């Protein structure tokens, strides 16, 4: 799995209510949730997203707060397939895999990426290249089992494929 796109940045301790405010939890539709992505942070933030070509770079403790699965679904629905962060709240990290959002934890190296940088992520190699600055960082590649869940589109899709004998 390889990803390319322009970076969108957010700071530390972005909680799930900033990612998708509770008022929108009446839906589980990714497109609907994506249309309100980051409304709790800035209602105009989503206007910066170029679906399919935006990658999120976050600071410490991204996804803290409640355990709502809607938060990673909102990011996916907005067109963001991947989040590079200093660190993730543990429940968000697991929910990201379950919902099919790629979480990459890089510690202090997240500071190598700035708003609008062109980024290339090579998941199997565990490498992120900032095409704007020419710098690259490495991260521990995900275990094959976790990559398989992400490639299937999340845990439920993975289980369906496995039951159908396709995995």
pLDDT, averaged per 10 consecutive residues of the chain (167 residues), comes to 94 96 94 95 90 92 92 96 97 95 96 96 95 96 91 93 86
How far is residue 152's CA from residue 42's CA, in Å, rounded to a whole number?
Answer: 31
Q: Is residue 162 part of a domain?
A: no
Asked if the structure places residue 15 within a domain, the reply is: yes
CATH number at residue 58: 3.20.19.10
SS3 labels along 41-97: CCCCHHHHCCCCCEEEEECCCECECCCCCHHHHHHHHCCCCEEEECCECHHHHHHHH
- Per the domain annotation, does 66 fall within a domain? yes
What does the pLDDT read at residue 165? Answer: 86
Domain count, the chain: 1
For residue 153, being part of any structural domain is answered with no
pLDDT at 104: 97
**27, HSE (Cβ side, Cα atoms, 13 Å):** 16
Say what the pTM is.
0.93
What Cα–Cα distance (Å) separates residue 20 from each residue in 79, 82, 95, 104, 130?
14, 16, 14, 20, 28
164 in a structural domain: no
- Helix, strand, or coil here: 100? coil
- 135: closest CA among 122, 153, 117, 149? 117
Q: Looking at the domain assignment, is residue 151 inside a domain?
A: no
Q: How close are the terminal C-alpha atoms of the chain, in Å?
A: 17
Residue 154, domain member (yes or no): no
Range of the domain at 49: 2-139
122 domain-assigned: yes
The count of other CB atoms within 10 Å of the CB of residue 58 is 23
């Amino acid at each position: 799995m390889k990803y390319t796109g322009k970076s969108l940045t957010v700071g530390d301790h972005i909680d799930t209510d900033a990612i998708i405010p509770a008022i929108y939890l009446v839906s589980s539709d990714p497109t609907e949730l994506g249309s309100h992505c980051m409304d709790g942070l800035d209602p105009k933030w989503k206007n910066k997203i170029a679906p399919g070509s935006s990658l999120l770079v976050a600071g410490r403790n991204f996804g803290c707060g409640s355990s709502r699965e809607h938060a990673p679904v909102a990011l996916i629905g907005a067109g963001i397939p991947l989040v590079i962060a200093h660190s993730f709240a543990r429940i968000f990290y697991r929910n990201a895999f379950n919902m099919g959002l790629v979480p990459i934890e890089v510690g202090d190296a997240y500071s190598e990426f700035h708003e609008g940088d062109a980024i290339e992520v090579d998941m199997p190699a565990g490498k992120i290249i900032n095409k704007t600055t020419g710098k690259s960082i490495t991260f521990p590649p995900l275990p094959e089992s976790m990559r398989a869940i992400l490639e299937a589109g999340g845990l439920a899709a993975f289980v369906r494929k496995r039951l159908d004998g396709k995995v």
